[in-house]
Amino acid sequence: MQDANGQTLSTYHFDARIDDGSGSLVFRELVPWKAGTNQIILKRGITPVAKRSVSGSSPTLKVLRPRDGETWGAKATVSWRGADADGDALTYTVLFNSGDDQRWVTLASGLTRQSVTIDPALLAGSQKAGIKLRASDGVNTTEAYSAGAFIVPDHPPVVSILGAARGRLLRRQSAEFTGAAYDPKYGMLPASNLIWTSNRDGTLGAGGHIKTTKPLSSGAHVITLTATNSRGLTNSRSVNIVVQ
């Protein structure tokens, strides 16, 4: 970190690691801020590889939506107004809080536009939800909150079938199926909340992984996994198989 005269205010050393996916060097460091910093310089050894000038003004930011008392439907819009007196490009991060605790969940980050569409299906239902926005010019950061509270209706669990391929041919013997269900408010549902059925043979069993106690009848089957959460909301997923 350097001041306006190019004098070094502080120096911090750290190691980067190689990202397994891209092979690039990556790092994330938290360092104490030094008052009077005018420029941040990143070096590899003694060679500068990047620099960032520190502007004099922090961004201004106001959340426009959601409004106080608004109810989110199948899709919801978060919008805001951000500006920077120095003309710096801004990036935005959108965070959600259910009102039940102090945990803020990131919904979107690295945004350059001033609105984003959210799918509430994976968010915990709440009568007192809130949105927090962060605007950054690369150094200076401003936060703003939605006015009042808005409503996110309870949603049924999200169901996935993992162990049965569509159209799969099964011999006339015991069959195995694997699935799971995620509840936006309480997380993964227990095995007792998952019920497997066949349109030909009725109830097959309960749990995330089942093996039928007797062979399935020959012919086409619609295999369905139904999940029920603690509030009685249900959802299901089906696959088609043929037993020969």
What is the pLDDT, as a whole number, of residue 168?
A: 65
* pLDDT for 244: 80
Question: Predicted confidence band at 169 (pLDDT cuts at 50, 70, 90)?
Answer: low
**Quick one: tokens of 146?**
């939605």
pLDDT above 90 (res 20): no
Thinking of the domain 60-152, which architecture would CATH place it in? Sandwich (2.60)
DSSP for 17-39?
A: EE-TTT--EE--------TT--E
Of the candidates 84, 87, 85, 80, the one whose C-alpha atom is nearest the C-alpha of residue 108 is 80
* CATH class of the region 158-243: mainly beta
Torsion angle (degrees, nearest 10) of CA 150, 83, 113, 69: 10
pLDDT, residue 175, reads: 84
Summarize pLDDT for 199-230 with one digit per residue, the tens. Answer: 999 999 999 999 888 888 888 999 999 999 98
DSSP-derived letter for residue 167 is T
What's CA 191's distance to the chain center, in Å? 24
Given a contact cutoff of 8 angstroms between Cβ atoms, the answer to whether 89 and 114 are in contact is no
- The predicted-structure confidence for 66-114, as pLDDT tens digits, reads as follows 999 999 998 999 999 999 999 999 999 999 999 988 999 999 999 999 9
Give 26-70 pLDDT, tens digit per residue. 888 888 988 899 999 999 888 999 888 898 889 999 999 999 999
Q: Where are the domains of the chain?
A: 1-54, 60-152, 158-243
Rounded average pLDDT over 189-201: 95
pLDDT over 80 (residue 167): no
Which tokens is 133 given?
């926005």
Per-residue pLDDT of 134-161, as tens digits, reads 999 989 999 999 999 999 999 999 999 9
Q: Which residue has the tokens 């079938």?
A: 161
Q: What is the pTM of this model?
A: 0.75
8 A C-beta contact, residue 27 and residue 43? no
